[in-house]
């Protein structure tokens, strides 16, 4: 049976089809859209919260999306060890939901950033970087106004010592503390990142640096199959 990746769609998500295409293209996985009002994930092997502007980013990015019915199923899936990746707006949703520490503030320069930036792989102990080598340099698209990662000093020390900083910007574009571009939870199965690896998976688009990340996710989802309770 082919590995199945669930891609959550909130009202205002806009990168879900990019993610579907990327996991099919890179990992040969099946991908399906999971709508925000669903209470079950119906046996998918991994979940991606895609980029966009869930609920219009009203109040704060992710503040309203975190109360969607589907998020209870996502939290349960994550607690059982299922791979969960939040990209851009999805990262914001995961921090608001308390599945990842910290918060994403407005960019330090108060500019919406739409560019390609160099990013360094810091840790390979996450489902998104398991097949990459720490120190590896990737060139990835970013596309955000609120990507300035913030946390208190105690949390930052904990993230550093536990190897939970997954990706760092080589040239910090948004003011993120310690150049953080992505973090994971303690078990490494929940990951959030501001760059968009799904937009860098096809040679037609001139950049395939995201393929290693998407490939790691699909491989982690495949190897985790059966190890997870399928009750969700």
Partner 1 sequence: MRFSVLVEVRLRPGIADPQGATIERALPALGFSGVDQVRVGKAVRFLIDAADEASARAEAQDMAERLLANPVIEEAEVTVRADGKPDAAS
Mark whether 88 is an active-site residue: yes
Least separation in angstroms between residue 227's CB and partner 1 is 32
Nearer to partner 1, 56 or 109 (CB): 109
Nearer to partner 1, 103 or 219 (CB): 103
In angstroms, the CA 209 to CA 81 distance is 26
Least separation in angstroms between residue 148's CB and partner 1 is 8
Least separation in angstroms between residue 107's CB and partner 1 is 7
Q: Write down the catalytic residue from 96, 144, 198, 201.
A: 198
Radius of gyration, alpha carbons of the chain: 16
Nearer to partner 1, 5 or 190 (CB): 190
Q: What is the DSSP string of the chain?
A: ---EEEEEE-TTB--HHHHHHHHHHHH--EEEEEETT-S--TT-SEEEE--B-GGGG-SSTTTTGGGSHHHHHHHHHHHTT--EEEETHHHHHHHHTTSSSSEEEPPTT---EEEEEEEEE--S-STTTTTS-TT-EEEEEEEESS-EEE--HHHHHHHHHTT-EEEEESS-SS--GGGEEEEE-TTS-EEEESS-GGGSSBGGGTB-TTHHHHHHHHHHHHHTTTTS----
Nearer to partner 1, 40 or 150 (CB): 150
Query: Which residues contribute to the site for partner 1 (CB under 8 A)?
Result: 59-60, 63, 67, 95-96, 101-103, 105-110, 148, 150-152, 175
Least separation in angstroms between residue 42's CB and partner 1 is 29
In angstroms, the CA 209 to CA 213 distance is 8
Mark whether 201 is an active-site residue: no
Q: Write down the catalytic residue from 16, 55, 196, 201.
A: 196
Mark whether 203 is an active-site residue: no
Nearer to partner 1, 107 or 216 (CB): 107
Q: Write down the catalytic residue from 15, 88, 151, 184.
A: 88
Instruction: Report the catalytic residues.
Output: 88, 196, 198
């Amino acid at each position: 049976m082919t590995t199945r990746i669930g891609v959550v769609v909130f009202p205002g998500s806009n990168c879900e089809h990019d993610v579907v295409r990327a996991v099919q293209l890179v990992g040969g996985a099946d991908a399906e859209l999971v709508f925000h009002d669903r209470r079950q994930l119906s046996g998918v092997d991994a979940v991606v919260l895609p980029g966009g502007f869930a609920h219009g980013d009203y109040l704060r990015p992710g503040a309203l999306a975190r109360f969607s019915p589907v998020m209870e199923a996502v939290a349960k899936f994550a607690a059982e060890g299922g791979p969960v990746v939040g990209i851009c707006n999805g990262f914001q949703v995961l921090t608001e939901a308390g599945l990842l520490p910290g918060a994403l503030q407005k960019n330090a320069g108060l500019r919406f950033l739409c560019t390609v930036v160099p990013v360094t792989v810091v840790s390979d102990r996450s489902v998104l970087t398991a097949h990459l080598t720490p120190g590896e340099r990737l060139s990835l698209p970013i596309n955000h106004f609120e990507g300035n990662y913030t946390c208190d000093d105690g949390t930052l020390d904990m993230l550093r010592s536990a190897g939970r900083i997954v990706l760092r910007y080589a040239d910090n574009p948004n003011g993120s503390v310690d150049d953080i571009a992505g973090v994971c939870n303690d078990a490494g199965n929940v990951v959030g990142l501001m760059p968009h690896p799904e937009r860098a998976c096809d040679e037609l688009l001139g950049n395939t640096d995201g393929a290693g990340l998407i490939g790691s996710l699909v491989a982690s989802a495949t190897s985790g199959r059966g190890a997870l309770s399928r009750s969700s």
